[in-house]
Structure 1
Amino acid sequence: MTDAPPSRYKVVERGRRLVVIDTRTGQPAVREPVVHRPAPGSAPAARPIEATAQSNVDDRSGNAVLVTSRLYDLKGPRRIVIGEAASSRMSRGIGGVAIGLVAFAILAVFFPLILFLPFVLAFQPKVRAGFRRWTTARLDEAERAAS
């Protein structure tokens, strides 16, 4: 079996720093940054990329914006401006969900088969439809409060 050819680069220590040396030139190997320049005849982009991204803050009021999905909202996707009242209500709702998840986890310690319950319920069309109706009603309330 033959040996591999010698490497073009080697690493040496200079002044308590590691430096990569190009063995062909004897100089430190420096990687030049690649600069992409447009072709001389090409036209510039019509608008910057930042202008196409949707913001999570409403331009008029400065409040947060919630963008919903068809996964849980029957009227989605839609953009809902969240006001102060809806924000505090959602905070309380998230706290309630967190308490419910902790209670579910404690219950699952004593009854491990209960861990299959969310998966079974997720595949029931009536349960999913009820959840989506309930969520849509809550989102409608938040939208009316913002108006």
Structure 2
Amino acid sequence: MDMPPTRYRVVEQGRRLVVIDNWTGQPAQHMMRATEPPRFDERRRTTIEQASASLRAPPPPPRPVTRQGVGTGAGLGGPDWILSTQSWFDDEGPRRIRIAPGGQGQLTILLGIAVAVAIFAIFFLGWILLPLAFFALLQSGTRKALRSGITVWLTGLGEEVG
């Protein structure tokens, strides 16, 4: 199926391009343009002036940051880190442990080592290690030994919070 013919075509007449309306056969009529742009009402003009003045004004000084209402363990690197444990990896869980500054260093190092081992296992050992780790974790004796070791390590990190 062919496309319908277009309404307009462009031809050259006397070294000028002219748009011809195919329906009338005459040159296309120009759209009537307003001789002067429409005027804004006074309310809109003042709004625009206020907006442009606020862009030129210097920004307000920053407000001081207060720590009111922020509890302990509010963020990493703060004075207290609080770790919430669960019963699937902690024999005494669920519990909350306030991690001492020495424990924070241990936890940070352990996290870095865990990430490095995970990257090594995924990229270099591939899919061979994943099924072996899965089957090892299915053994109840392995899970019980891991959970008890993690519980002892978590207890040594800090003190329990009520």
Task: Give the TM-score normalised by structure 1.
Answer: 0.52
Q: How does 1:84-99 map to 2 (within 5 A)?
A: 84-99=101-116
Q: Give 1:105 deviation, angstroms.
A: 1.5
Q: Is the 8 A contact 2:72 2:79 kept in 1?
A: no
- AA aligned to 1:66 is L
Task: Say yes or no: does 1:66 pair with 2:83.
Answer: yes
- Greater Cα radius of gyration, structure 1 or 2: 2
Root mean square deviation, CA, Å: 2.4
- AA aligned to 1:113 is I
Task: Say yes or no: does 1:119 pair with 2:119.
Answer: no
Q: Give 1:125 deviation, angstroms.
A: 0.3
Q: How many residues align?
A: 87
Q: Give 1:79 deviation, angstroms.
A: 1.1
Q: How does 1:27-66 map to 2 (within 5 A)?
A: 57=73, 62-66=79-83
Q: Is the 8 A contact 1:69 1:77 kept in 2?
A: yes
C-alpha distance after superposition, 1:72-92 (max 9, x if no partner): 000111111112111111000
Q: Give 1:103 deviation, angstroms.
A: 1.7
Structure 1 runs (4+) greater than 2 angstroms displaced: 55-58, 106-109, 112-115
| SS at structure 1 position matched to 2:102 | helix
The runs of 5 or more residues in structure 1 that have no matched partner are: 1-54
CA distance in 2, matches of 1:131, 1:57: 27
| SS at structure 1 position matched to 2:158 | helix
Task: Give the TM-score normalised by structure 2.
Answer: 0.48
C-alpha distance after superposition, 1:5-36 (max 9, x if no partner): xxxxxxxxxxxxxxxxxxxxxxxxxxxxxxxx
- AA aligned to 2:105 is S
Q: Residue 98 of structure 2 corresponds to which residue in structure 1?
A: 81
C-alpha distance after superposition, 1:46-102 (max 9, x if no partner): xxxxxxxxx6728xx951211111010001111111121111110000111111112
Q: Is the 8 A contact 2:89 2:150 kept in 1?
A: yes
